[in-house]
Amino acid sequence: MSDKAMKLAKMLQTKFSPELENMYKAWAIQNQIPQSNDYDMRGFWFGNMTGDPDAQSSMNPADMQLHFSDKWKMPNHQSFSNESMYDIYNQAPKWVEQPAPYKKGTWAQYGKKGLMNLEIPMGDE
């Protein structure tokens, strides 16, 4: 990651008082939450604590990994989308339903360069 991207990520990350930071860290350790510089996990946690309906996570059937809401994806995330609160210029790719010849109901991102190569199966084959 470039220095510029790292600085942007640090600038955008949710900041807490020492008390909230300790609560967040305890939650992250207890739940073995992965930490990264391309997702505002603190923002997600605070949203979850305050009842934000977007603060949801689920197992993705495509890769069997835990995935979190797009709302807190940072601009340097590989699947950053217009669903992120950090899409401040309204120029991020958007998720669109894209039927593929081999599957029904897949989702892909559509951006400035057309349909991107992200396809995440959603539902039965």
Nearest to 34 by CA among 9, 67, 62: 67
Residue-number span of the structural domain to which 24 is assigned: 3-86
Q: In this structure, are 10 and 70 located in the same domain?
A: yes
Q: How far is Cα 9 from Cα 25, in angstroms, rounded to an integer?
A: 19
Tell me the pLDDT tens digit for each residue of 23-74: 999 999 999 998 888 999 999 999 999 999 999 988 877 677 788 999 999 9
pLDDT of 123:
41
pLDDT of 62:
67
Tell me the pLDDT tens digit for each residue of 9-35: 778 889 999 999 999 999 999 999 988
Q: In this structure, are 110 and 82 located in the same domain?
A: no
pLDDT of 90:
84
Question: What domain count does the chain have?
Answer: 2
The conformation of residue 103, written as its DSSP 8-state character, comes to B
